[in-house]
Structure 1
Amino acid sequence: MADNFIIHDFQPMGDEFDLKLDSHSNICLVIDTARVDHWLNEISQIEDQLNWENLYENTQAEEYKSIAPVVVDLYEKSELISFVNQNAIWSSSTVLITYHCSFDEIVDHLRSLVFVRDKNRKNLFRFYSPQLLSYWISTLPEESIHSLLGPAERWIWKTNNHLDQAQVWNWILHKPEQKRQKNKTAWFELSQKDIEILNDFDKDK
């Protein structure tokens, strides 16, 4: 693989988040709110002044905003990161993202991924599912992964180790392009291979 594209697995040590986050990077958390009951109440008890955006807002999925993925703006020492690390439901329902652009730019990019193209169809896509990412992302060609990550530097998620079922952290890193074109909804197109892999993922669930 190219030097600017890396996939890693790593095991956290004890209750500490064992990933050395770059203090110069911005951090956000994508939450699959359909899997986490009372998510806003829970994070408000941990951090009461967080900025967040609903990814279905201003899209054709806006009527489903109550179960939409949301993006929460974080910082390096946020207590919410430790909470996610220690809570199995939350760690299996979230993706951490580090980036150097503005929060608005990362939100715009993630919102553009809410719908993907499958031949001539436009479908809602749960790109923020840790289980789906672990199953699918390593099968993508590098060009597609760079496009998927967009302005983000790193996506980080937690899944079960197939050997002993212990939870392990996974992360994927790339070097974002300096000049980025803003994408419209449903610009990311699934290949026939993607469709077959994702169909297998649905059967295995």
Structure 2
Amino acid sequence: MRQEREHRLMQAVEDPDIERDDLYLLLDGAALPALQIIYQHDDEPRLEPLYRGTRHESMLECSPILYSLAGQHLMWQNRERWQSAGLLLKSAASIDELASHLRSLLSVRLPSGELAFCRFYDPALSERFFDSLTQDELSAWLGPISGVWLTTEHSEWRGFTTNQISLGRTADDEGWFSIRPEHLVHWQQQERQRFIQRLINHFSADDFHEKSAPELEAVVKQRVHEAETFGIEAEQHLLAYVELALQFPDAIDSPEARIGLTNKEEAAEHRLARIEASLLGLHG
């Protein structure tokens, strides 16, 4: 039986203490010029590109970079340069041992058995990834890592620490961590919720719908679910449908409009274009 966690893992925390000698920075080399930023702040950095010596070495120029941050005040003072694309890791392991363990996590095994990149070093994904793991999965994934910190889009630090550390893996073990179908379902649900919230925020800025915030949220959720039953699933098409439904709620619920919207033999964008033209009186 899997041991599920009852609460979210990441919590609001104070700024990490960079004086400690077990603090590392993991930068997303695909999101920023990681090596350039490091060398601009440290003449003799201790670092490891994670793609070095792996099957991903042909992409070394965009490799995630593991860097020893201990006592590097200049790098820390200019953290706005990198904090949106980096994680702070606490580990008593050497930089070589930690890099080897992280290399084993560059790819994960999907339920189909295929390998897929895992961008765990992207703060935009990290919190959701860690929160989706069971306690046993998290402990195995962390290995010698005893703390993880990241910043939110509002530059607030969030993180967690643990005493349940274990030996790290080696780069040759890449793909050992398996993704369960439940993980995929969980992430899909999260993405859907985030999209619906973006829709709510988008339409909250408009005043044509004349709805209170709770009413708008209820209508957006209802209309998204409705569109999905019509086979309208792409985000841009859902946005277009919800906007039409807010502008023309009665007309879009008419039998004539429903016949056109539910015709799944026609592409969603064509159905929406035709319905929009009809609602706006643009015929011919």
Give yes or no for contact 2:139–2:165 (8 Å, CA) kept in 1. no
Bigger mean CA deviation after superposition, 25-34 or 72-81: 72-81
Aligned length: 186
Could you tell me how far 1:131 is from its partner in structure 2?
0.9
**Alignment partner, residue 116 of structure 1:** 108
**Alignment partner, residue 222 of structure 2:** none
SS of structure 1 residue aligned to 2:65 = strand
Could you tell me how far 1:133 is from its partner in structure 2?
1.2
Q: Distance in 2 between matches of 1:111 and 1:130?
A: 18
Alignment of 1:126-205 (within 5 A): 126-160=119-153, 166-177=154-165, 180=167, 182-183=169-170, 184-199=173-188
Give yes or no for contact 2:143–2:168 (8 Å, CA) kept in 1. no
Q: Distance in 1 between matches of 2:104 and 2:93?
A: 16
Amino acid in the other structure paired with 1:117? R
Write 1 or 2 for the structure with the bigger share of helix. Answer: 2
**Alignment partner, residue 281 of structure 2:** none
Q: Distance in 2 between matches of 1:48 and 1:54?
A: 17
**CA offsets, 1:64-110, max 9 Å, x none?**
111111111221353212322x34xx211000111112111111111
Q: 4+ residue runs of structure 1 moved beyond 3 angstroms?
A: 197-205
**CA offsets, 1:120-167, max 9 Å, x none?**
10111101111111223112111111112110110111113xxxxx22
Give yes or no for contact 1:9–1:171 (8 Å, CA) kept in 2. yes
SS of structure 1 residue aligned to 2:174 = coil
Could you tell me how far 1:22 is from its partner in structure 2?
6.9
Q: Does 1:31 align with 2:51?
A: no
Amino acid in the other structure paired with 1:175? N
**CA offsets, 1:41-70, max 9 Å, x none?**
222121111021111122221211111111
Q: Distance in 2 between matches of 1:53 and 1:20?
A: 22
TM-score normalized by the length of structure 1: 0.80
Amino acid in the other structure paired with 1:63? S
Amino acid in the other structure paired with 1:8? Q
Q: Distance in 1 between matches of 2:70 and 2:168?
A: 26
Write 1 or 2 for the structure with the bigger share of strand. Answer: 1
Give yes or no for contact 1:7–1:173 (8 Å, CA) kept in 2. no
Q: Does 1:92 align with 2:95?
A: no
TM-score normalized by the length of structure 2: 0.59
Q: Distance in 1 between matches of 2:102 and 2:41?
A: 25
Q: Residues 105, 76 of structure 1: CA spacing in aligned structure 2 closer, same or farther, 3 A cutoff? A: same
Q: Distance in 2 between matches of 1:195 and 1:59?
A: 26
**Alignment partner, residue 51 of structure 2:** 56
The runs of 5 or more residues in structure 1 that have no matched partner are 13-17, 161-165
**CA offsets, 1:175-201, max 9 Å, x none?**
1435x2634111111111212234456
Alignment of 1:71-110 (within 5 A): 71-84=66-79, 86-87=80-81, 90-110=82-102
Identity %: 22
Q: Distance in 1 between matches of 2:98 and 2:76?
A: 18
SS of structure 1 residue aligned to 2:78 = helix
